[in-house]
Structure 1
Amino acid sequence: MAVCALVGLLGASLSAHASDSVEQSFASSGNVHVLGRFYDAQPSGIVHLADGRFVLSFPTSAQRHPGPVLAVWKGGSKLQPFPDAATQKELISPLGMTVDAHGRVWVIDEGIAAGQTEPQTPAIILVDPGTNRIVRRFSLSSPVVRPDSHINDIRVDLTHGKEGTAFVSDTSQTTHPALIVLDIASGQARRILADDASVSAAPGHVMEVDGNLFRYNPDHPQMPQGGVNGIGLSVDSSRLFWAPFSSRRLYSAPTAIMSDPSASEVDLRQAVRDEGEVGVVDGIFTAPDDSLYMADEERHGVVRRSPDGNLSLVAHDPRLISPDSLASGEQTKQSVSSLIMTVGQWARLPVFHDGHDMQKRPYLIVRIDLKK
C-alpha cells in the first residue's frame, strides 16, 4: 500500500506541473515588444530627435562590423548613416549619446576599435541634426583621460557655464573611474571625483550573468564591470545622477557645484548624495515628471525611480539579455507612454569566455509600453 500511495503522489505531482506557480520576474512582463533585429552589429546608444528620427550608435571597440557606426534607425534593420555617409570616416567607435535642450546631438566617441594598437583618441562629437553636420569636436587627452579610460555616456546641462556644461562618465578599463566635466564655451575639461567611492565598483560585488554568478575582478574580468557608467540629468538640469556599473547604488550631486571649476575635490565629495540601492544600472533616461528609468542588467528589465525615491520594476523579459540605452517612444511634455531600448549581449563577448564568442544573434531594439 505504501508503494501504491507513493506512485499516486508521484503521478499527482507530474500531472499538476502545468498549473504550478512560478517566480513572476522570470516570465515576461508582457509589455516588451521587439521592433528591430540586427545580425551584423550591436547597437548601444539611442536618442530620439525632435523631428521624430531615432539615432543609434554601433561601437567598434569590442568588435568591428560592416555598415555605419552612427545611423538613423528607420525601423526593423533599416539604417541610414548619420549625419551622412561621408562623416562615418570621422568616427571610430560612437557609444553613449544625448540630446540637449536645443535639440543638438552629443556623441561619445571611444576613439578605439577592436584590434587597434595605437593609443585611443577619445572625443565628444556635437552634431546639428538640422543641417546633418558635425559642428564641433572636443578631443580628450591626458590628464583628463588616462590610458585605461573608458569614456562611456554623456549628459549636457545648458544652465551652467557660458554655453553649458557636459558631464561624461569614465567607467575605466581597470580601477580608475571618474566623471569628466567639459566647459562647452572654452572646450576645457576636468577630471573630478577620480577613484571616489561614489564612482567606483563596490568591493566584492557579485552579479548574475546568464544564470551564473561572477565576482568583480579587475585582474581577470568574467563579465562587463567597472565604475560609473549610466548618468542622468534632472529635468531642470539642477542635479546629475550616476551609477557605478559594478554596484547597485545610485548617487547624485548638484550641477552648480560640479560645473564650478573653483570647487575643490573636498567640496565635490561632500556634495555627493547617496540615493540608495537601485540595481545594476546601465543606461538612464529622465522622463518629463523627473522619474528615472534605468536599464537593469541583473533583472533583465527596466526600473523606474519616482521623484520621491520609490522604485518599481516596469518591465522584465528573458530577451533583455544586456539592456543598454533608453530613449522616449511616445512622449508629451508631461509624461512618456513608451520607451525604446537597445539590447546588447556584452557579457557574451569572447573577452569574457577565453576567446569563445557566446553571442547569439540577433541583437534587439525593443519598445516598452508603460502603464498610464
Structure 2
Amino acid sequence: MTIFRSLRGGLLLESSRTVAACALLGLLAAPLAAHAADSVEQSFVPSGNVHVLARFHDAQPSGIVHLVDGRFVLSFPTSAQTHPGPVLAVWKGGSELQPFPDAAAQKELKSPLGMTVDALGRVWVIDEGVVAGQTEPQTPAIILIDPRTNSIIRRFALTSPVVLPDSHINDIRVDLTHGKNGTAFISDTSQTTHPALIVLDIASGQARRILAEDQSVSAAAGHVMEVDGKLFRYNPDHPQMPQGGVNGIGLSVDSSRLFWSPFSSRRLYSAPTAVLSDPVISESGLSQAVRDEGEVGVVDGIFTASDGSLYMADEERHGVIRRSPDGTLSLVAHDPRLISPDSLASGEASNQPVNSLIMTVGQWARLPVFHDGHDMQQRPYLIVRIDLKNR
C-alpha cells in the first residue's frame, strides 16, 4: 500500500489511514457532485410534450380514431388476451368508456384492431376474428360503421385465399377516389413469413392479395430491435418480440398514394393507389410501381396530417417521428413511458391543422408469448397527448 510520511519523515500510520480515507471519499464524492452537470445523450431525456390522458388497468387499447362529431373511438383487441368491458368503445375521458356503436354490437365483434375514418366520416374497423385461446380457425373481417346512426352497416368477410392460416390482419386505410365506391387497403403482417397487402373493392366486396412476400412488405433479414433495453433479432421460428411484415399503413391527403412499413424493418415504401387498386396490373407491374421512401424507424401506426405530413409511432425510439412532405424527418416526441407506441389520431377537429396527437401506448412486447409464458406487463396501459407546437 502507499505509505504517507510526515514532513519530518516519520511514519504516521493512523494519520495515513485518515488521509487515505479522506482522499477516497473525495474521489467518490467528486463524480457524484458533478453528475447533475454531466452532459447526457438527449434521447434519454423526455421531450417534455407527452401528457398522460388516461390509464386503463384491465384492457389494453390499440386502435384510435377521431370522429367528425368529435368523439374518440378505441379498440381493445382480444387476440392476445381477453378482458372485461367493451372491445370497441367511445372514450369519454379518463377511463370512462361507452360501447360503440352500441352494447348489442359487441357480440358481433371478436377482436377489433386497426381502424380508420374515411372521407365520408364512416368508421372502418379490422376485426381479427379470433380471441385468446380459440382453437377454431380465425374469421377476419372488415366492419363498416355509420357513426351518425351508431350502427354496423356492412361486414366484409375475408376468406381464403385472400387470407392464409397464418395471416395477421392489422391495419386499414380507405381510398374513395378509385373504384365505383372506393377501395380499402389492408395490411397482413403475417404471424410467420407470408405478409401481403389486401385490396378490397368496396362496391363488389371482392378482395385480392397483392405484393405477397414482396421485399417491400417483408421483414428485413437479420433485423435487430431494441425492446425494453434488450436487443432481439428477428426470428420467425421463435419470436422474442413483436415482429413481422407490413404493419402501419397511411394514405396521402389526396388519396393518390399509399404508404406502408414492414414492422421488422426500418424502411418506408409507397405506391400510387391508382396502380394498387387496378386488378388488371400484374404482380411484377405492382412491384415495379413501389417506391422505397428510405429509412424511417421501427414503425407501427401511421397518421396523415392535413398538411401531408406523416406521423409515425416509432417502437424503438419510444416516440413519434414526423416525415414532412419533402421527406425531412424529425423526432417530435420521445418518452420512456412510450413502451410500445401504437396508433395515432389528431387531437384537433377534422381537417384542422394538427397541433396535438392522441396516441395509444401498448405493452405488446411484454406479453407472455414472448417470455416463456410469464406476463411481464406492468399495468396500467396509457393514452397520451403529444403537443406539437414548436416541435
Q: Same-fold call, TM > 0.5?
A: yes
1:244 corresponds to 2:265: no
- Percentage of identical aligned residues: 86
The AA in structure 2 aligned to 1:311 is: L
Whether the 8 Å contact between 1:331 and 1:338 is mirrored in structure 2 is no
Displacement of 1:5 in angstroms is 6.2
Q: Structure 1 regions of 5+ residues with no counterpart?
A: none
Displacement of 1:333 in angstroms is 3.5
> Partner of 2:61 in structure 1?
43
1:111 corresponds to 2:129: yes
TM-score, normalised to structure 1, is 0.98
The equivalent position to 1:186 in structure 2, one of 201, 204, 215, is 204
1:207 corresponds to 2:225: yes
1:268-327, Cα deviation, whole Å (9 max, x unpaired): 000000000000000000000100000000000000000000000000000000000000
The AA in structure 2 aligned to 1:238 is: S
> Partner of 2:381 in structure 1?
363
Distance 1:22 1:62 in 2: 38
> Partner of 2:8 in structure 1?
none
> Partner of 2:101 in structure 1?
83
Displacement of 1:10 in angstroms is 3.4
How well do the aligned residues superpose, as a CA RMSD in angstroms?
A: 1.2
1:259 corresponds to 2:295: no
Aligned length, in residue pairs: 372
Displacement of 1:12 in angstroms is 1.5
Distance 1:359 1:86 in 2: 31
The AA in structure 2 aligned to 1:203 is: A
1:352 corresponds to 2:370: yes
The equivalent position to 1:30 in structure 2, one of 13, 33, 48, is 48
Cα 1:17–1:209 shift into 2, 3 Å: same
The AA in structure 1 aligned to 2:318 is: H
Alignment of 1:180-329 (within 5 A): 180-329=198-347
Distance 1:183 1:141 in 2: 14
Q: What is the SS of the residue equivalent to 2:144?
A: strand
1:218-256, Cα deviation, whole Å (9 max, x unpaired): 000000000000000000000000000000000000000
TM-score, normalised to structure 2, is 0.93
Q: Structure 2 regions of 5+ residues with no counterpart?
A: 5-18
1:330 corresponds to 2:386: no
1:129 corresponds to 2:165: no
The AA in structure 2 aligned to 1:276 is: G
Distance 1:120 1:212 in 2: 32
Displacement of 1:331 in angstroms is 4.7
Distance 1:355 1:297 in 2: 23
Larger Rg: 2
Distance 1:61 1:188 in 2: 25
The AA in structure 1 aligned to 2:78 is: T
> Partner of 1:171 in structure 2?
189
Whether the 8 Å contact between 2:347 and 2:357 is mirrored in structure 1 is yes
Distance 1:332 1:355 in 2: 43
> Partner of 1:69 in structure 2?
87
Q: What is the SS of the residue equivalent to 2:116?
A: strand
Displacement of 1:19 in angstroms is 2.0
The AA in structure 2 aligned to 1:131 is: T
> Partner of 2:35 in structure 1?
17
Greater shift, 67-76 or 8-17, is seen at 8-17
